[in-house]
Amino acid sequence: MQTMQINSLPTQEKEWRSAFPILNKVLYGKYPLVYLDNAATTQKPRQVVEAMTEEYYNVNANVHRGVHFLSMQATDLHEASRETVRRFLNARSASEIVFTRGTTESINLVASCFGQAFMKEGDEVIISEMEHHSNIVSWQLLGESRGIKLRIVPITDDGRIKMDDYEKLFGERTKIVSITHVSNVLGTVNPVRDIIRIAHEHGVPVLIDGAQSTPHMPIDVQELDCDFFAFSGHKVYGPTGIGVLYGKEEWLDRLPPYMGGGEMIKTVSFEHTTYNDLPYKFEAGTPDYVASTGLAKALDFVTSIGLDTIQTHERDLTDYAMQRLMEVEDMNIFGPKDVSLHDAVISFQVGNIHHLDMGTLLDRLGIAVRTGHHCAEPLMHRLGIEGTCRASFALYNTREDVDALVEGIKRVRQMF
Ligand code: PLP
């Protein structure tokens, strides 16, 4: 059972897992938890939870506005966290790091502010067929209010961007490209360097949705040369309710504020208000300064292991899982078969067993997977399906977890 499994693991995996108390849970009185829903959210290591508890117990005070000891200490922690994020993404300056509530808010911020500043009726945004709803609906809202059009890059049957079609979508009205780095359904790793290079050749900026790449690979926004990059803290072992928008200073400077309130202003009168410097112009109201500490701890945690090491481990797991899953009769795996293009997320369907039945029965064996359309309904339409079962890996997953999944699926299959 659980202890035997842990004992048989290599030392480094045992050490990584030991930071996550929740992984010791036993479900329904006998099944050790096999947590394979990491694309939805990751578990939190002790370091994150303890740092946040410590801040609430010993530091708590509102940031930026206080002259008293605790407020200054909380402000220092919050700004040190911003610097940790800067280092993590290799941004040029901490003023390019905007704290948001998550990827969704980051994308909405860009859609709203960029749209307001640079787009008018008939202008176009390029997105792809594999986007999460947050990278579709944010732009649709803009379309409704300002008459902006979506241009959609098609994908191949195995879930890769059709690059020739992408290039053909550019025209005079193209104002921005907004594309996911890694698909949350197919696990496809998109060729974002080429996507960005081609957009820049047309003088068009690019927003990269990094929700599913940030936990799994090193990110260097300067090397990518993306104009905006969004990610969520909770998907990279950090707390919920905090995320990041990176933006090149020259773009953020030219965008209007997103929300009005405290923090984002320099002076206010009834006649005229002036706005704060970057990044505070985009951070109206009290920020979640405790979550920023948690996020920084989470990023320190993954950095101490090394994103390269994490990527190698998870690629190995993905590769192993793809091979083992193919042992199951009637198994259909979506997305690229080549594991160098396929990252830590595997969507599958077994014969005509409904994904909801599969997920529910796997749960009864202690195995947590996600089922449904994964907030990507247009992609489901493209694939001609209603939904999938999705297993997604994190650094603490093991080959034993994959074995449990495969054995679980085989058992479920026998029931039908
Ligand atoms: N983009 C992608 C690719 C995602 O997978 C998700 C969440 O699953 C999001 C955006 C939205 O992230 P959040 O709900 O943390 O804002």
Element of type H or E holding 390:
strand 388-392
Assess whether the C-beta atom of 107 lies below 6 angstroms from ligand 1.
no
Contact at 8 Å (CB) between 231 and 211?
A: yes
* Mutation pick for ligand 1 pocket among 100, 101, 104 (CB with most ligand atoms within 8 Å): 104
Q: What is the CA radius of gyration of the chain?
A: 22
pLDDT score recorded for residue 1: 39
DSSP 155: B
Cα separations (Å) of 141 from 34, 96, 109, 378? 38, 25, 12, 16
Handedness of CA 297, 300, 304, 307 (dihedral sign): positive
Assess whether the C-beta atom of 345 lies below 6 angstroms from ligand 1.
no
Assess whether the C-beta atom of 244 lies below 6 angstroms from ligand 1.
no
DSSP E strands: which ranges in 132-193? 149-153, 174-180
pLDDT in tens, 262-294: 999 999 999 999 999 999 999 999 999 999 999
* Burial of 38 from C-beta contacts in 10 A (0-12 / 13-18 / 19+): buried
CA of 41, closest atom in ligand 1: 8
Give which of 248, 258, 246 is closest to 284, Cα–Cα.
Answer: 258
Q: Cα angle vertex 291, ends 289, 295, to 5°? A: 120
Residue 66, pLDDT above cutoff 90: no
DSSP 276: P
Residue 11: pLDDT band with limits 50, 70, 90: confident
Give which of 44, 43, 48, 41 is closest to 84, Cα–Cα.
Answer: 48
**How large a percentage of the chain has pLDDT more than 70?**
98
Strand 34-35 vs strand 367-368: parallel, antiparallel, or unpaired?
parallel
Strand 228-232 vs strand 206-209: parallel, antiparallel, or unpaired?
parallel
Average confidence score pLDDT of the chain = 96
**How large a percentage of the chain has pLDDT more than 90?**
94
pLDDT score recorded for residue 339: 84
The pTM of the full predicted model, rounded to 2 decimals, is 0.97
Contact at 8 Å (CB) between 209 and 179?
A: yes
Residue 98: pLDDT band with limits 50, 70, 90: very high
Average of per-residue pLDDT across 329-353:
95
Assess whether the C-beta atom of 211 lies below 6 angstroms from ligand 1.
yes
End-to-end alpha-carbon separation of the chain, Å? 27
Nearest 10 degrees: Cα torsion 335, 150, 207, 264 = -140
Report the phi/psi class of residue 261: left, alpha or beta, with left for phi > 0 and alpha for psi in -120 to 50.
left
- The residue to which tokens 């479920």 are assigned: 412
Element of type H or E holding 31:
strand 31-32
Contact at 8 Å (CB) between 62 and 74?
A: yes
Contact at 8 Å (CB) between 358 and 113?
A: no
pLDDT in tens, 368-381: 999 999 999 999 99
Q: Report the residue count for the chain.
A: 416
Residue 109: pLDDT band with limits 50, 70, 90: very high
pLDDT score recorded for residue 14: 85
Residue 123, pLDDT above cutoff 70: yes
Residue 406: pLDDT band with limits 50, 70, 90: very high
pLDDT in tens, 139-176: 999 999 899 999 999 999 999 999 999 999 999 999 99
SS3 of residue 77 by DSSP: helix
pLDDT score recorded for residue 5: 52
Residue 230: pLDDT band with limits 50, 70, 90: very high
Active site residue 375: yes
Range name among 77-81, 193-197, 336-340, 405-409 with the lowest pLDDT average: 336-340
DSSP E strands: which ranges in 105-180? 124-128, 149-153, 174-180
Q: At residue 237, what is the residue type?
A: Y
